Amino acid sequence: MSEAEPDIRKGLVGVVADVSAVSKVMPETNSLTYRGYPVQDLAEQCSFEEVAYLLWNGELPNAAQLASFRREESSQRALTPALLEVIRAFPRDAHPMDAIRTAVSFMGMEDPEAADTSEPATRRKAMRLLAKIPTAIAAAHRASKGQDAIAPDPSLTFSENFFHLVFGKVPQPEVVKAFDVSLTLYAEHGFNASTFTARTITSTGADLHGAVVGGIAALKGPLHGGANEAVMHMLSEIGEPARAVEWLQSRFDHRALVMGFGHRVYKHGDSRVPTMTQYAEKMAEVVGDRRWMEMSRLLAAEMLAKKNIHPNLDFPAGPAYHLMGFDIPLFTPIFVAARITGWSAHVIEQAADNRLIRPLSHYTGATQRAVPAMADRR
Residues with a known catalytic role: 224, 263, 314
Q: Closest residue (Cβ) to ligand COA? A: 262
**Judged by CB, which is closer to ligand COA: 74, or 332?**
332
**Judged by CB, which is closer to ligand COA: 264, or 291?**
264
300 is a contact residue toward ligand COA (CB under 6 A): no
Number of residues located near ligand COA, criterion CB under 6 A: 13
* Candidates 35-43, 53-61, 210-218, 309-317; binding stretch for ligand COA (CB under 6 A): 309-317
- Residue 304 beta carbon to ligand COA: minimum distance, rounded to whole angstroms: 12
- Residue 320 beta carbon to ligand COA: minimum distance, rounded to whole angstroms: 15
- Residue 147 beta carbon to ligand COA: minimum distance, rounded to whole angstroms: 30
**Judged by CB, which is closer to ligand COA: 242, or 257?**
257
- Residue 102 beta carbon to ligand COA: minimum distance, rounded to whole angstroms: 24
Q: Among residue numbers 201 through 240, which ones bind ligand COA (CB under 6 A)?
A: 223, 227
**Judged by CB, which is closer to ligand COA: 255, or 369?**
255
**Judged by CB, which is closer to ligand COA: 15, or 223?**
223
314 is a contact residue toward ligand COA (CB under 6 A): yes
Question: What string of H, E and C letters represents the secondary structure of the chain?
Answer: CCCCCCCCCHHHCCCCCCCCCCEEEECCCCEEEECCEEHHHHHHHCCHHHHHHHHHHCCCCCHHHHHHHHHHHHCCCCCCHHHHHHHHHCCCCCCHHHHHHHHHHHHHHHCCCCCCCCHHHHHHHHHHHHHHHHHHHHHHHHHHCCCCCCCCCCCCCHHHHHHHHHHCCCCCHHHHHHHHHHHHHHCCCCCCHHHHHHHHHHHCCCCHHHHHHHHHHHHCCCCCCCHHHHHHHHHHHHCCHHHHHHHHHHHHHCCCCCCCECCCCCCCCCCHHHHHHHHHHHHHHHHCCCHHHHHHHHHHHHHHHHHCCCECCHHHHHHHHHHHCCCHHHHHHHHHHHHHHHHHHHHHHHHHCCCCCCCCCCCCCCCCCCCCCHHHCC
Q: Among residue numbers 236 through 295, which ones bind ligand COA (CB under 6 A)?
A: 257-264
67 is a contact residue toward ligand COA (CB under 6 A): no
Contacting residues toward ligand COA, per CB under 6 A: 223, 227, 257-264, 309, 312, 314
